[in-house]
Structure 1
Amino acid sequence: MRIIIVGFGNLGRGICRAFIGKADFFKKAYGLIPKVVAVADECGAAVDENGLDLPRLLKTAESHGTVAKYPGGRRGKLALDLIEEVSADLVFELTPTNIKTGEPGLTHIKRAMQSGKHVITSNKGPLVVAFKELDSMARKQGVEFRYSASVGGAVPVIGLAKKLLCGNEILEIRGVLNGTTNYILSRMSAEGVPQEMIIQEAQELGLAEKDPTLDIDGIDTACKITILANSVLGIDAKLSDVKVTGIRRVTPDATRLAQEAGQTIKLVGTARRDLLEVSPKLVPQGHPLAVSGTLNAVTFKLDLAGEISITGFGAGPKETSSSLLGDLIDVHRTLGG
């Protein structure tokens, strides 16, 4: 399968490392031979119709900060040009999230679909801004569209819901979907440390952004709830439909009182057909959603199966590569590979 990668930060590099390390496995298990023929970052692009040398590409990007320094690379070459000009089967759209406009990922995805290329993305922005439009466009153009990595990182939330639980009606989805806030709340509960101190330490460890607003104020979780509402529940939801309360007002005293009552405080996103909400909730200790550290967890309430929960790591290039590769194999199988 001929592949274009748009965005070559941690995720783009992570997927290439996975291609290198698991090449034999893909071929033996699935008959799949991924061939990366073009990569674009914010500075330029690297193209080789015969397939890029991935170890060399990674070394170039890490040494020079751009793939444009790869032999024959093109500084200033736009991702949109690559999508239109390079012969490929599938585009990985892995650029940073923009929840206001969805750009530039939204245009990248549309252009890929219009040119007959399948799309896999981790980018929440286009999905929050224009999910129904993109889903409809994929069907109209006859291309596959996958986005498992946009929710839960390595946790196969969307795949579980849409495939393995398809005999059930999903009545409700509740989840701890942001590793940063879960790390902060876990530390507050265990140590009674003020939130501001933990945030600073999380930033130093790389677990929180320099501006952690989207995490702490619940916006990141709200984006994921919006995606789940659209993709799993079939609701035409917008981010503005989600009632959001973050964790800024949660204090060490609150976590202590919760603990004394056999509870723990978690930032929980909830999606039902009559409710979209993100807010701190009391969760009983021992409940599947009472995960600690940077773990994510999701519980599905089902008409036949009752409740089913899944837990795992929700962030990191290696972990997210798991979902990206799962989507690639799913597309390969769907196409008859």
Structure 2
Amino acid sequence: MIRMAIFGFGTVGKGVAEVLLKKERLLKNLIGDFKVVAIADSKSSLYGDFDLREAIEYKIKHGRLPRDERARDLFDIESFDLLIEATPTNVFDGEPGLGYIREALKRGINVVTSNKGPLVVAFKELNDLAEKKGVHLGYEATVGGAMPVIKLVKKDLAGNQIIKILGILNGTCNYILSRMESEKIGYDQIILEAQQLGIAEADPSYDVEGIDAAAKLVIIANSLLGLDAKFEDVRITGIKNITPEAFDVALKKGYTIRLIAEADEDGKLEVAPRLVKLTNPLAVYGTLNALLIKADLAKELFVIGRGAGKYETASAIISDIIDIYAR
């Protein structure tokens, strides 16, 4: 029996719980019996023998969980084998997720996370700690949502040296730029409508200033290029100064504009708006993410997928869980 804990019970955490219920029979065939024995959000928790479906309904109705113990307390209250860490991202100090992941690994608990912050702040430390303790740290969900990146390269491109990665790593920015291109309307109107649709956050700065894409780039570069990069190593330019007029000029020459993240084996790390040929596979539209991977043997590989969303992120988390426990 795999005993699971979920820390962070917002959109992503609830999404994972819903998928665990929906796919229960399939998952048990793949990994054996499992049970969620602890869940926690920022101010409340639930642990022991409880019904996961009822816990989801309680959180939706009351905005919290029934008990007052905090996530950190659950390490000493409940025994579990796997921590699903889905707390909000903080790229500057990684907390509170960094503390939870570090504590779990120290105790010999496997971890799967969607939280970019801890990996941006302490990538090498956490991976070294997992190796030392003989446990797994899965983080596919931190970089591309449903778009497979980490395992694709580590497994299917094993033996390749990755030379460069180039791509679109933020769906909100891509949505804004796509609409600006096609409808010739300004940033302020698009961001307001994107917020109303739930595509952009109430405070969209993490997205539009390039912070989210830069965080993902650091994780990808460290994982696939073997760098030891930090967030401050990335040169970042956001999209707030892009205008419909810029698209008029670009389109006349056969180009569009996209927020491109790039890293190479020499340590280049940059996120910035760039001209992209309309015939380039990176000229994707809407909230899609896309990544071009250049390798010494396989040459060029292009991946496209939905980079955010409750079930898209849950897809990557479930994939990591299966990867750890597949029989």
Q: Return the TM-score normalized by structure 1.
A: 0.94
**Per-residue deviation, residues 115-150 of structure 1 (Å, max 9, x unmatched):** 110001110111111111111111111110010000
Contact 1:84–1:112 under 8 Å retained in 2: no
Q: State the Cα distance separating 1:83 from its structure 2 match.
A: 2.1
Partner of 2:174: 182
Task: Identify the residue that residue 241 of structure 2 maps to in structure 1.
Answer: 249
For 1:31 and 1:227, the matched residues in 2 are separated by 27
Deviations 1:95-122 (A, max 9, x none): 0011111111010001111111000111
Partner Cα distance (2:31, 2:144) in 1: 28
Q: Distance in 1 between matches of 2:160 and 2:23?
A: 34
Q: Please give the alpha-carbon distance, in whole angstroms, between the structure 1 residues aligned to 2:34 and 2:253.
A: 52
Indicate if the aligned counterparts of 1:4 and 1:83 stay in contact, CA closer than 8 A. no
User: Which residue matches 2:316?
Assistant: 323
Q: Is the 8 A contact 1:84 1:111 kept in 2?
A: no
Instruction: Give 1:33-72 correspondences, 5 Å limit.
Output: 33-48=33-48, 50=49, 52-68=50-66
CA contact (8 A) 1:122 1:149 kept: yes
Q: What is the DSSP-based 3-state SS (H/G/I as helix, E as strand, rest coil) of the residue aligned with 1:67?
A: coil
Alpha-carbon contact 2:288-2:307 (below 8 Å) kept: yes
Q: Which residue of 1 aligns with 2:188?
A: 196
Could you tell me the percent identity over the aligned residues? 49
1:33: Cα distance to partner? 2.7
Structure-2 residue corresponding to 1:4? 5
1:114 to 106, 122, 135: 106
**Aligned-partner SS, 2:228:** coil
TM-aligned CA deviation for residue 85 of structure 1: 3.1
The answer to whether 1:15 aligns with 2:8 is: no
Aligned: 1:80 with 2:81: no
In structure 2, C-alpha distance between the alignment counterparts of 1:331 and 1:225, rounded to whole Å:
24
Preserved contact between residue 179 and residue 293 of structure 1 (Cα < 8 Å): yes
Contact 2:31 2:325 in 1 (8 A): no
Give the corresponding residue for 1:138. Answer: 130
How far off is 1:175 after superposition?
A: 1.1
Separation of aligned partners in 2, 1:296 and 1:165: 20
1:308-333, CA deviations, whole angstroms, 9 ceiling, x for partnerless residues?
00101011111111000000000103
Q: Distance in 1 between matches of 2:186 and 2:34?
A: 47
Paired position in structure 2 for 1:127: 119
AA partner of residue 59 (structure 1): E
* Correspondence for 2:299 among 298, 301, 306: 306
AA aligned to 2:4 is I
- How far, CA to CA, are the matches of 1:7 and 1:291 in structure 2? 31
Q: What are the Cα deviations for residues 66-85 of structure 1, in whole angstroms up to 9, with x where unaligned?
A: 122xxxxx21x021111233
Distance 1:40 1:321 in 2: 17
State the superposition RMSD in angstroms.
Answer: 1.1
| TM-score for both structures, normalised by structure 2 | 0.97
Q: Give me the whole-angstrom Cα distance separating, in 2, the residues matched to 1:133 and 1:86.
A: 26
Indicate the SS of the match to 1:154: coil
Question: In the alignment, which residue of structure 1 is the partner of 2:198?
Answer: 206
Does residue 104 (structure 1) correspond to residue 96 (structure 2)? The answer is yes
> Cα gap change, 1:130/1:31 in structure 2, threshold over 3 Å: closer, same or farther?
closer
Q: How many residues align?
A: 325
> Could you tell me how far 1:167 is from its partner in structure 2?
2.4
Segments of structure 1 that go 5 or more residues without pairing to the other structure are 69-73
CA distance in structure 2 between the partners assigned to 1:264 and 1:252 by the alignment: 11
Checking the alignment, whether the CA contact within 8 Å between 2:178 and 2:285 is kept in structure 1 is: yes
CA contact (8 A) 1:144 1:331 kept: yes
Counterpart residue number, 1:27 = 28
Deviation at 1:273, TM superposition (A): 2.2
The correspondence of residues 262-273 of structure 1 with structure 2, limited to 5 A, is 262-273=254-265
Letter in 2 for 1:53: D
User: What is residue 287 of structure 2 aligned with on the other side?
Assistant: 294
Greater RCO, 1 or 2 (C-alpha within 8 Å, sep 6+) = 2
